[in-house]
């Protein structure tokens, strides 16, 4: 695995952990602010309700000693400080602080009390030397302020509660961060493990080991990426095997004619062959093998261009029957030499859109095989007709036929049913591979059927042009 300091795993883990940490701290700050504010609001509301309950015992007129004693008794039982005064100035006598009317209850607040509204004071009170939350409830008699029920609590008590809350919150938050970081570590390690495996596998592939595969453990995007990597590695391995096999086949195919040419030419150069007839025979063999090499190189170039999609077709509409008639005329001498009869059944109305030169190359490779593998006195039939696909060309011979298990391999490069015979006849084993690719470039398809001893039938299907 890559060093932790440079790994994607580290970056993801730090990102997740930092996000969790920021979220927890932000949540704590919001919770602390809201908790304190809500708690202060609750205490404030409680003091107001408490003050109004006490004020409910006032029935008017000057404040009585009985009411003062009752409030004093309540003060001793209550958690808040409660006082009942007939004049705000009397508050200084009830508290251990020098205080006067102007500092505790101002003019605006007195006006508010005269309206029957409670006065709420929160914050640091210099005369008390502490933060307080205080409520003053007016006792009115016909719009006359006869007294005040004054309640307050030190905010220090509230802060103590919020400190406890904060401590618990932070302790829980730290525990959550540790657990989340640990679980995130495990989860991200599991998620990034296939990526690390793919990195190691990619390095092996780059070094030429195409057999490496990545273990797929999930069906998510990473699992799909691993599956795609395995498919790519498998495809590269297959292509590499094909390339090695192809190079081996090419080397083998070239080695045979080159060895013949070298041996025959050395024999002629050393005057080992005295008879003119034998010399002519050897020269003919040299010419045959050199022609075979030319055909092999030409076919290899065609296949290379087809594989690289560099084969540019120049398509034009043309009557296929005319092309077949003109093309097959070239095979007159070869057919006569082997006494092979030719039967044509061509529909002159069939027109296809294709490259005439490449279509002729298709027929040439097929007819070459038909003539090569049809014994003397046999027959080759070519039928051209309209078909639901568009156009069908059926080429049938009465040759030696092909075993059923070999038919599916006929379009493989250098594949021969009878290797010895193919070489003696000059075949390269590439003809049908080229035919298959050219037919597909014309949006067509090819079907091959055969029976040993009875012959072979090749059907070509092309889209037709309707005029």
Please give the helix or strand (H or E) that residue 452 lies within, else none.
Answer: none
- Residue 2 pLDDT more than 80? no
Asked whether 351 and 465 are in contact (CB, 8 A), the reply is: yes
- Residue 209 structure tokens: 């080991």
Mean pLDDT of the chain: 78
Q: Measured in whole angstroms, how far is the alpha carbon of residue 463 from the centre of its chain?
A: 38
Residues 6+ apart with CB under 8 A from 181: 13, 17, 20
Which run of H or of E encompasses 307?
Answer: helix 276-307
Distance from C-alpha of 277 to C-alpha of 283, rounded to nearest angstrom: 10
The pLDDT of residue 94 is 46
Residue 121's alpha-carbon distances to 41, 47, 84, 130, 342, in angstroms, are: 12, 11, 17, 13, 119
Residue 221: how many other CB atoms lie within 10 Å = 8
Task: Let me know the angle formed at the C-alpha of 396 by 393 and 402, rounded to the nearest 5 degrees.
Answer: 120
Are 352 and 320 in contact by the 8 Å Cβ rule? The answer is yes
What are the domain boundaries of the chain?
1-209, 221-305, 314-462
- CA distances to 42, 106, 431 from 75, rounded to whole Å, are 20, 24, 113
What are the φ and ψ backbone dihedral angles of 352, each rounded to 5 degrees? -120, 160
**CATH label, 221-305, candidates 1.10.287.130, 3.40.50.300, 3.30.565.10, 1.10.287.810:** 1.10.287.130
Q: What is the DSSP string of 44-69?
A: HHHHHHHHHHHHTT--SSSPPHHHHH
| pLDDT tier, 99 (very low <50, low <70, confident <90, very high otherwise) | very low
In angstroms, what is the C-alpha Rg of the chain?
A: 52
CA dihedral 253, 257, 263, 266 (to 10 degrees): -130
- The reply to whether CATH 3.40.50.720 applies to domain 314-462 is no
Helix (H) or strand (E) holding 132: strand 130-141
pLDDT tier for residue 89 given thresholds of 50, 70 and 90 = low
Q: Tell me, what's the pLDDT at 427?
A: 58
pLDDT, average across residues 216-240: 79
- pLDDT at residue 426 above 60? no
Q: Indicate whether 392 pLDDT > 80.
A: yes
Asked if residues 195 and 222 have their Cβ atoms less than 8 Å apart, the reply is yes
Q: Contact 453/400 with Cβ under 8 angstroms?
A: yes
Dihedral of CA atoms 112, 115, 117, 119 in degrees, nearest 10, equals 20
The model's confidence at residue 98, banded by pLDDT at 50, 70 and 90, is: very low
Query: Model pTM?
Result: 0.48
Assign 420 a pLDDT band (cuts: 50, 70, 90).
very low
Phi, psi of 53 (to 5 degrees): -65, -40
What phi, psi does 450 have (nearest 5°)?
-160, 160
Q: How confident is the model over 55-62, as a mean pLDDT?
A: 82
Nearest CA to 103 out of 125, 130, 132 is that of: 125
E strands, 14-128, in order = 81-85, 119-125
Confidence class of residue 128 from pLDDT cuts 50, 70 and 90?
Answer: low
For 247-275, what is each residue's pLDDT tens digit? 776 776 677 678 878 887 887 878 777 78
- Contact criterion met (CB below 8 Å) for 210 and 240: yes
pLDDT digits (tens, 9 = 90+) for 344-377: 999 999 999 998 988 988 898 899 888 988 889 8
Helix (H) or strand (E) holding 3: none
Flag whether pLDDT at 3 surpasses 70. Answer: no
Mean pLDDT within 234-243: 80
CATH 2.40.160.20 for domain 1-209, yes or no, is: no
């Amino acid at each position: 695995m890559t060093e932790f300091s440079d790994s994607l795993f580290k970056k993801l883990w730090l990102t997740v952990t930092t996000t969790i940490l920021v979220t927890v701290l932000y949540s704590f700050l919001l919770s602390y602010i809201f908790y304190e504010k809500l708690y202060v609001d609750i205490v404030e509301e409680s003091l107001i309700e408490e003050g109004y309950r006490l004020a409910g015992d006032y029935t008017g007129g000057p404040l009585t000693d009985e009411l003062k004693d009752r409030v004093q008794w309540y003060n001793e039982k209550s958690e808040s400080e409660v006082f009942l005064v007939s004049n705000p100035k009397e508050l200084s006598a009830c508290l251990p602080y020098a205080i006067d009317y102007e500092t505790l209850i101002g003019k605006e607040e007195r006006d508010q009390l005269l309206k029957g509204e409670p006065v709420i004071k929160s914050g640091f009170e210099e005369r008390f030397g502490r933060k307080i939350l205080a409520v003053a409830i007016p006792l009115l008699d016909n719009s006359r302020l006869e007294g005040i029920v004054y309640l307050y609590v030190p905010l220090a008590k509230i802060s103590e509660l919020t400190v406890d809350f904060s401590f618990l919150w932070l302790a829980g938050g730290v525990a959550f961060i540790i657990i989340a970081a640990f679980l995130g570590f495990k989860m991200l390690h599991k998620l990034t493990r296939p990526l690390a495996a793919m990195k190691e596998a990619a390095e092996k592939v780059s070094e030429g080991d195409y057999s490496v595969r990545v273990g797929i453990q999930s069906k998510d995007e990473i699992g799909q990426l691993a599956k795609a990597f395995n498919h790519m590695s498998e495809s590269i391995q297959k292509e590499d095997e094909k390339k090695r096999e192809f190079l081996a086949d090419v080397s083998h195919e070239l080695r045979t004619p080159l060895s013949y040419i070298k041996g025959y030419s050395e024999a002629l150069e050393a005057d080992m062959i005295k008879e003119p007839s034998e010399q002519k025979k050897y020269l003919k063999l040299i010419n045959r093998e050199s022609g075979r090499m030319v055909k092999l190189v030409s076919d290899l170039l065609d296949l290379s261009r087809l594989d690289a999609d560099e084969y540019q077709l120049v398509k034009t509409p043309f009557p296929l029957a005319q092309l077949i008639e003109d093309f097959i005329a070239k095979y007159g001498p070869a057919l006569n030499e082997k006494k092979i009869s030719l039967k044509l059944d061509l529909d002159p109305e069939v027109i296809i859109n294709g490259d005439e030169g490449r279509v002729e190359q298709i027929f040439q490779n097929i007819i070459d095989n038909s003539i090569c593998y049809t014994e003397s006195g046999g027959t080759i039939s070519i039928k051209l007709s309209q078909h639901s696909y568009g156009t069908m060309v059926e080429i049938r011979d009465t040759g030696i036929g092909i075993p059923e298990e070999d038919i599916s391999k006929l379009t493989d490069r250098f594949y021969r049913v009878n290797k010895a015979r193919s070489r003696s006849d000059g075949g390269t084993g590439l003809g049908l591979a080229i035919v298959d690719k050219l037919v597909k470039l014309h949006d067509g398809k090819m079907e091959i059927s055969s029976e040993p001893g009875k012959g072979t039938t090749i059907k070509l299907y092309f889209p037709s042009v309707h005029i």
